[in-house]
A and B are shown apart, each in its own frame.
Chain A
Amino acid sequence: MSFWFLVVSRWQSILESTWEHILIVAVAVCVAVVLGVGLGVMITYWRSLAGPVLYFCQVVMTIPSLAMLGLLLPVFGIGYKTGVATLILYSLLPIVRNTYAGIEGIEPAIIEAAKGMGMREITILRRIKLPLAWPVILAGIRTAVVMIVGIAAIASYIGAGGLGEFIFRGISQWNLQLVLVGAVCVSILAVLADGLLKRVEGRTRR
């Protein structure tokens, strides 16, 4: 029962950490969406870049997240910045890949009809390509968010704050309840984010 005791007695710091966690993920995702969609759109116009850009993102994904945090540490220093930078890097691949796939997956006839009717390229992008690719892009964002909720927990290790702190403090102090609080909260957060974005996705697909 000491688990519940802990939850009740520390609920304020749990909420604070959760909020911190959400914030770092949100900031990273916002930046990653802008960058990722931009990059994804760009490589549909410069096809020759598509291969290298996607390969780069793929390689980033194979690097273990702890290693990435370590690699960026000398660049951005201990704390928040390194965490956000790492999260952005990891969310790029699903977003870029899905933006590219979403736009490439549009029936060519639709684009041809739009062109043939004299729509400007910028209008086609804004009114045809992005709206049609949006459900796919959103799926990419969902993958990214679920992934970086977990990575953000690891980022606590280099002082980025968030729920991961409970886990690491708990392990070093041999406080099992603290570890449990951290792990459970992070898991709930990931599952909730996934469910929420899935619902948004379902709405756009209709």
Chain B
Amino acid sequence: MIKLEGVTKIFPRQKVPAVKNLSMEVAEGEICVLVGPSGCGKTTTMKMINRLIEPTEGKIYVNGRDVAEVDPIKLRQNIGYVIQEIGLFPHMTIAENIATVPREKGWPEDKIQERVDVLLELVGLDPEVYRNRKPADLSGGQRQRVGVARALAADPPILLMDEPFGAVDPITRAHLQNEFLSLQKKMKKTIMFVTHDIDEAIKMGDKIAVMRAGELVQYDTPDRILSAPADDFVVALVGHNRALKRLNLVKAGDVARKDVPVAKGTCSLEEAKKLLQADNLPVIVIVDGLNRPRGVAYKEELLRRNGQAHLQEIMTPLESVADEDATLYDALSTMLNYGERYVVVMNHNKEFQGIITFGYLLELMKENGS
């Protein structure tokens, strides 16, 4: 979808090239993250794709066409562009901001209005509330959402994003990242994403391109970047806690043990003991009629008790839970937060998906061999 061939950029009155003989390819529907320290040429690389900067040498193809031969205005109208400062037009309403590119393209007015509402809905802002507001009335996170909506306005197949979540606080950032990822699941855009934050790169990228001093150091999947860094620079960039970071790459729902027994609250203690005996689990999960976890009973507690009681009576309310889309990293921090040796994984309908125990987590990490 996007292809760079031997691209070099030397800015006027500078000897050192900002980008040196760069070749890479981004496949359709993928997020490619350019990551590296400031001044490594990642933003320059990105801006050459929509011709905000013209390369000194080399060719760039978008959709098989050499961008140098496309009218830059037409080219940019078909490539969404999001930057860290967002650059919303302060004198226009949110709706007018989002409608910029459709207007430039000469869409009919009713189609534009419809599109604006769809987009606001898509990025989680109520059109009725926000349509006629000015950018100054929005919070940083909301502005960033409008920025994304504006870039998506004419439904471009390609998005360029330059540190799009860099200017918001960490909590909002994580929020926006997750939302954007789930949006991307539906949209399947081809995305070039620039960041200096390796954690963000690992989280967002299907592929990561590590750059240093205008050169491509390693272009690989996040897993390979973490498990097989090409050189010391990449090692230093990803940091010493690589193993921990790899937990970010695995979804809790994908690895949770699903073959574990669950019990209804009405189940007798004896029965529950039998169920647990087969497995080396610290707890037994108690579910309701709809297979939704309600609580847990600890193994020690269960073994200590005798008699005719029901499982319900020794149930502890559920605390250590994770969404199936959460990463193993999130799951681990949940465990540590509650001081438990397990985390119960649920799907979006709050149904039981499986369980991840601390011991199991260690085994997983060993298997992956870091």
Inter-subunit contact B75/A118 (CB<8 Å): yes
- Size of chain A's interface in residues, with CB distance under 8 A? 17
Q: When the two chains form the complex, which single residue of B85, B91, B160 contacts A107, counting CB atoms closer than 8 Å?
A: B85
Chain A residues with CB under 8 A of B79: 118
With A109-B83, A113-B81, A113-B83 known to touch, is A119 a contact of B104 (CB < 8 Å)?
Answer: yes
Q: Is A126 an interface position by the 8 A CB rule?
A: no
Inter-subunit contact A109/B75 (CB<8 Å): no
Chain A, residues 89-113, CB within 8 Å of chain B (1/0): the string is: 0000000000000000001011111
Q: Is B281 an interface position by the 8 A CB rule?
A: no
Chain A residues with CB under 8 A of B77: 117-118
Chain A, residues 161-185, CB within 8 Å of chain B (1/0): the string is: 0000000000000000000000000
CB proximity of A13 to chain B, nearest CB, Å: 46
Within B63-116, the residues touching A (CB, 8 Å) are 72-79, 81, 83-91, 100-101, 104
Q: Is A128 an interface position by the 8 A CB rule?
A: yes
Interface bin, chain B: 20 to 34
Interface of A is mostly: helix
Interface of B is mostly: mixed
Q: Is A115 an interface position by the 8 A CB rule?
A: yes
Chain B residues with CB under 8 A of A113: 81, 83, 85-89, 147
Q: When the two chains form the complex, which single residue of A115, A119, A128 contacts B52, counting CB atoms closer than 8 Å?
A: A115
With A116-B52, A118-B77, A118-B104 known to touch, is A128 a contact of B89 (CB < 8 Å)?
Answer: yes
Nearest residue, chain B, Cβ from A132: B91
Q: Is B50 an interface position by the 8 A CB rule?
A: yes
Inter-subunit contact A116/B50 (CB<8 Å): yes
Q: When the two chains form the complex, which single residue of A114, A120, A123, A131 contacts B87, counting CB atoms closer than 8 Å?
A: A114
CB proximity of A86 to chain B, nearest CB, Å: 35
CA distance in complex: A116, B158 (Å): 13
- CB-based closest 7 A-B pairs: A113-B87, A118-B76, A109-B85, A116-B81, A118-B77, A109-B87, A110-B87
Binding site for A on B (CB under 8 A): 50, 52, 72-79, 81, 83-91, 100-101, 104, 147, 150-151, 160
